A = this chain, B = another copy of it.
Amino acid sequence: MIARVIVTPKPVVNDPQGLTVKQGLGALGFTEVTDVRVGKYIEVKLEDGSEHEARRRVEEMCRQLLANHVIEDFHFDLEQEHKRR
């Protein structure tokens, strides 16, 4: 099972990294860019199990370690791995 977690700064929180990227893109001529927000992408591989249980566990991982809930939001998708033996 693979969980693809995306952690983003909350909309009300300043994002200096995003601002810097926006300015960098502008300097390169990408003047159509109006806003940039930078977050994290985390791919977590899990031992096989039920999707329901995996969802509960990954949510717990986000709360305990992957995201700072004061300043960040998170969401994730789960995907079953299809292995050939």
* B-binding residues in A (CB < 8 A): 6-8, 18, 21, 24-25, 28, 30, 32-47, 49, 57, 60-61, 64-66
A28 partner, pick from B30, B33, B64, beta carbons under 8 A: B64
Do B33 and A37 have beta carbons less than 8 Å apart? no
Given contacts A38-B41, A43-B37, contact A65 B25 (CB under 8 A): yes
Do B43 and A41 have beta carbons less than 8 Å apart? no
> Closest residue of chain B to A60, judged by CB?
B30
Do B8 and A61 have beta carbons less than 8 Å apart? no
Give Cα A37–Cα B39 distance, bound, in whole angstroms.
Answer: 14
Give Cα A64–Cα B29 distance, bound, in whole angstroms.
Answer: 11
